[in-house]
Amino acid sequence: MTHLTRLEYIKIIIIKVFKKVELLLFMKTLIVYFTMGGRTKKTAEAIASALTTHEVSFFPMKLTGKFIEKIKMLDKFENKDFSAIESELNTLDAVGYDLIIFGMPTYGSRPPLAFDEILARMGNLSGKKAVVFNTARFTGGKALDYMKTKVEEAGTQVIDQRKFRKLFWIGVKNAIKFGKQINERKE
Ligand SMILES: Cc1cc2nc3c(=O)[nH]c(=O)nc-3n(C[C@H](O)[C@H](O)[C@H](O)COP(=O)(O)O)c2cc1C
């Protein structure tokens, strides 16, 4: 085992203390998203990449498998059957987070029913800050307004919102820009 000089030892302690302080100062952020085709996941991850002053955790709700399996699962969710992901949903806990970012695709001008289920599971979110975003191919309709209203009804203060609408290829440029905007907020 190599012996550390006193200076090296002090350096290590200082770095450790800085890391602890940094973690305490970082905003604790939870990104909850739903995705079937990967566009909302891509957007959520791009936003997260710009949150350099946040300690980010994810709660992803991903439909996996072949297209037909995804559609079947979506159908179950739209019929309020969440039994397949019950154990994941039970781990959903907003305690300890300052900011919760909700990201949803648009299905028939509204978010998937999974959004309402997630919110119901989270219970009272008073005192939390929230950001809502959605992805869409056409208009997205009033889906984002719906998300904002529901999240506010759960007790949060919505500090930002954004619709990412692209008919074909959804890039990450606008999502990173949006993430930077959230990151630079002082309050
Ligand atoms: C069943 C279904 C319904 C959709 N309805 C709408 C809609 O009403 N308006 C819209 O702009 N896009 C609509 N879309 C497109 C999706 O909202 C869009 O592709 C979204 O980015 C998908 O996100 P994901 O890849 O994360 O699942 C719909 C897609 C599906 C599969």
pLDDT tens for each residue of 117-161: 999 999 889 999 999 999 999 987 799 999 999 999 999 999 999
Name which of 108, 110, 115 is nearest 130 in CA terms. Answer: 115
Looking at the domain assignment, is residue 126 inside a domain? Answer: yes
Q: For residue 38, how far is its CA from the centre of ligand 1 (angstroms)?
A: 11
Question: What does the pLDDT read at residue 1?
Answer: 53
Collapsed DSSP state (helix, strand, coil) of residue 20: helix
Of the listed ranges 108-112, 120-124, 169-173, the least confidently predicted one is 120-124
Kindly report the CA angle at 170 between 166 and 173, in degrees rounded to 5? 110
Dump pLDDT digits (tens) for 30-54.
Answer: 999 999 999 999 999 999 999 999 9
Host domain of residue 43? 27-183
Looking at the domain assignment, is residue 13 inside a domain? Answer: no
Q: Whose CA is nearest to atom 30 of ligand 1?
A: 107
Looking at the domain assignment, is residue 5 inside a domain? Answer: no
Looking at the domain assignment, is residue 162 inside a domain? Answer: yes
Question: What does the pLDDT read at residue 17?
Answer: 78
Strands 54-62, 157-165: pairing is unpaired
Q: For residue 27, how far is its CA from the centre of ligand 1 (angstroms)?
A: 31
Looking at the domain assignment, is residue 22 inside a domain? Answer: no
Q: For residue 74, how far is its CA from the centre of ligand 1 (angstroms)?
A: 12
Q: Work out the pLDDT band at 24, boundaries 50, 70, 90.
A: low
Looking at the domain assignment, is residue 3 inside a domain? Answer: no
Q: At a CB cut-off of 8 Å and minimum separation 6, what does 4 contact?
A: 12
CATH number for the domain including 128?
Answer: 3.40.50.360
Q: Which atom of ligand 1 is nearest to the CA of 74?
A: 1
Dump pLDDT digits (tens) for 56-102.
Answer: 999 999 999 999 999 999 999 999 999 999 999 999 999 999 999 99
Looking at the domain assignment, is residue 140 inside a domain? Answer: yes
Average pLDDT over residues 158-180: 96
- By most ligand atoms within 8 Å of CB, the mutation choice from 36, 76, 107, 162 for ligand 1 is 107
Q: For residue 121, how far is its CA from the centre of ligand 1 (angstroms)?
A: 24
Total domain count for the chain?
Answer: 1
Looking at the domain assignment, is residue 19 inside a domain? Answer: no
